[in-house]
């Protein structure tokens, strides 16, 4: 695919990559006509020589925190993710009376924390999470025994069409991560449904969650204590903040400005920051 794109590269004004750094060697000669959005964690030591060897590629981060481990990289903008406004509808009066966890089973996502928060708060917890082969042993040994507790329901992986019901009818969504989350799409999916979130202060979380949409915590105890307050947040306002900050239209506008700058000059300006 990359070889064919390289062969036809002159057809395009700007080429926007979403495949990490795989394309760097092939497109070095036209780097100024490219954008590369970084989607993964950047605190991996193997990435350091790559960014230093290919400094000519303009990079886009999906949060300001994501760029923190690589200050030497040529990051020209932060563009927060966005979702189509019609993808989810706000649920102002949820029916579920449960807490929700949506994501994948892995040590850094800390489902164990979510379970403990729910148990201490005396609330039901529904867990919608996929299990990748690499995490099968972790699930069997660490998470599965915790699922025997009362009120804890493991649903498994759900599709896009099921997220509306699952997130929209939750009292709150738990995001108890223990890793430098580059963005956290689950957070804005919940907000789109009007559902407030409780998230641990890691990675991009402080850039995504504010007082109107949920709470940022440092511990399980803090999460349990603030949960009643979070569940009382105005769900219409949660949705309004989502529309203001994380719509697909806003994301597209941010990228269009970057494309225009790339076309207008040999390279984009030094810094363009998302309005999010």
DSSP symbols for the chain = -HHHHHHTGGG-S-EEE-STTTTTTTTGGGGGGEEEE--S----TTHHHHHHH-TTS-EEESSTGGGTT-TTS-EEEE----B-TTTS---SS-S--EEEEEEE-SGGG-HHHHHHHHHHHT-EEEEEEE--GGGHHHIIIIIGGGGGSTTEEE-----HHHHHHHHHT-SEEEE---S--S--HHHHHHHHTT--EEEES-TTHHHH--TTTEEEESSHHHHHHHHHHHHTS-HHHHHHHHHHHSBHHHHHHHHHHHHHHHHHSSS--S-EE---
Are 173 and 195 in contact, with CB atoms under 8 Å apart?
Answer: yes
Strand duo 214-217 + 59-61: pairing: unpaired
For residue 173 the two structure tokens come to: 């969504």
What is the distance in angstroms between the CA of the first residue and the CA of the last residue of the chain? 33
pLDDT in tens, 9-40: 999 999 999 999 999 999 999 999 999 999 99
pLDDT in tens, 184-197: 999 999 999 999 99
pLDDT at 273 over 90: no
Are 37 and 62 in contact, with CB atoms under 8 Å apart?
Answer: yes
Other C-beta atoms lying within 10 Å of the C-beta of residue 70: 20
Q: Give the percent of the chain with pLDDT over 70.
A: 96
Q: What is the pTM of this model?
A: 0.91
Per-residue pLDDT at 15: 96
pLDDT in tens, 210-239: 999 999 999 999 999 999 999 999 999 999
Are 80 and 63 in contact, with CB atoms under 8 Å apart?
Answer: yes
pLDDT at 240 over 90: yes
Structural domains present in the chain? 2-82+248-273 (no CATH), 98-245 (3.40.50.2000)
pLDDT in tens, 162-188: 999 999 999 999 999 999 999 999 999
Per-residue pLDDT at 262: 87
For residue 138 the two structure tokens come to: 């972790």
């Amino acid at each position: 695919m990359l070889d064919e794109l390289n062969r036809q590269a002159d057809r395009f004004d700007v080429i926007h990559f979403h495949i990490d750094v795989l394309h760097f060697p092939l497109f070095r000669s036209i780097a100024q006509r490219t954008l590369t959005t970084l989607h993964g964690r950047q605190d991996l030591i193997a990435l350091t020589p790559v960014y230093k060897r290919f400094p000519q590629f303009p990079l886009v981060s999906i949060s300001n925190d994501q760029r923190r481990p690589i200050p030497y990289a040529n990051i020209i903008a932060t563009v927060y993710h966005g979702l189509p406004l019609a993808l989810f509808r706000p649920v102002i009066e949820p029916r579920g009376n449960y807490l929700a966890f949506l994501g994948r089973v892995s040590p850094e996502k800390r489902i164990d924390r979510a379970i403990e928060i729910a148990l201490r708060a005396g609330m039901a917890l529904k867990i919608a999470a996929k299990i990748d082969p690499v995490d099968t042993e972790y699930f069997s040994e660490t998470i599965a025994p915790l699922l025997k507790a009362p009120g804890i329901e493991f649903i498994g992986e759900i599709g896009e069409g099921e997220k509306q019901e699952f997130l929209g009818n939750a009292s709150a969504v738990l995001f108890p991560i223990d890793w430098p989350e580059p963005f956290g799409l689950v957070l804005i999916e919940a907000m789109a449904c009007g559902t407030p979130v409780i998230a641990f202060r890691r990675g991009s979380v402080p850039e995504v969650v504010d007082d109107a949409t949920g709470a940022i915590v440092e511990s399980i105890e803090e999460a349990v204590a603030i949960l009643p307050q979070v569940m009382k947040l105005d769900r219409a306002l949660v949705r309004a903040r989502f529309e203001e900050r994380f719509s697909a239209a806003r994301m597209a506008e941010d990228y269009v400005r970057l494309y225009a700058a790339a076309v207008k000059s040999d390279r984009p300006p030094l810094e363009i920051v998302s309005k999010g």
